[in-house]
Amino acid sequence: MDPSLVVRPFDVADAAPLTALLHAAYAELGDRGLNFTAVDQDVATTRARALAGRCWVVEDEGVLVGTATVSLPPSTALQAMSEHARTPRRAWLNQLAVAPDRRRRGIAGHLWSLGRRWAREAGATSIGVDTAAPAEHLVALYAAWGFELRDVIRWEGKTYDSAVMVRQLLGWL
């Protein structure tokens, strides 16, 4: 990742610009009919989701260009939907996004590296993620990061099934 970019923890003052970043990043998924929450979530939802775990933002001269959140444990809503979210010491990767004009430069990879290191240090022994099963490029990206498919769930109000994927954190990062 470009070393001139600043990676720092989310601050509540970021909630509005972070919402704009999420809308821009997830628009392509929305255009495909995949109504991810981040396609059109409001600022309060962004704030709540960021504060539900450890959230990082990537900044370029004051402009937010990337974000990721890792929760430990996963949300109670997710735990109610999948046994794989109820496994003890399991973290969850959420709200990953990179601005469309900043892609393929390692920003998401850097956030993933930070997120899994934080999870490990916080006591997690594994980490999960859920994403739209029809978004094959995302399922492939998480598989390349070591995640394995464990479950398929359907969030209320969503137009798609979600793939639940899990990766161990023991032994290697």
What are the residues binding ligand COA (CB under 6 A)?
25-26, 29, 96-98, 103-109, 131, 137-138, 141, 144
Q: Which is nearer to ligand COA, 17 or 106 (CB)?
A: 106
Q: Which is nearer to ligand COA, 103 or 117 (CB)?
A: 103
Q: Are strands 90-98 and 126-132 parallel, antiparallel or unpaired?
A: parallel
| CB 146 to ligand COA: min, Å | 11
CA–CA gap between residue 77 and residue 54 (Å, rounded): 18
| Residues 74-82: contacts with CB under 8 Å, at least 24 apart | 74/128, 78/130, 81/153, 81/155, 82/130, 82/150, 82/151, 82/153, 82/164
| CB 124 to ligand COA: min, Å | 19
CA–CA gap between residue 76 and residue 9 (Å, rounded): 23
Q: Which is nearer to ligand COA, 57 or 96 (CB)?
A: 96
Burial class (CB within 10 angstroms; exposed 0-12, middle 13-18, buried 19+) of 83? exposed
Residue at shortest CB range from ligand COA: 108
| CB 57 to ligand COA: min, Å | 13
Using alpha carbons only, give the angle 29, 21, 64 rounded to the nearest 5 degrees. Answer: 145
Q: Which is nearer to ligand COA, 41 or 131 (CB)?
A: 131
| CB 15 to ligand COA: min, Å | 18
Type of residue at 136: E
Q: Which is nearer to ligand COA, 25 or 169 (CB)?
A: 25
| CB 141 to ligand COA: min, Å | 5
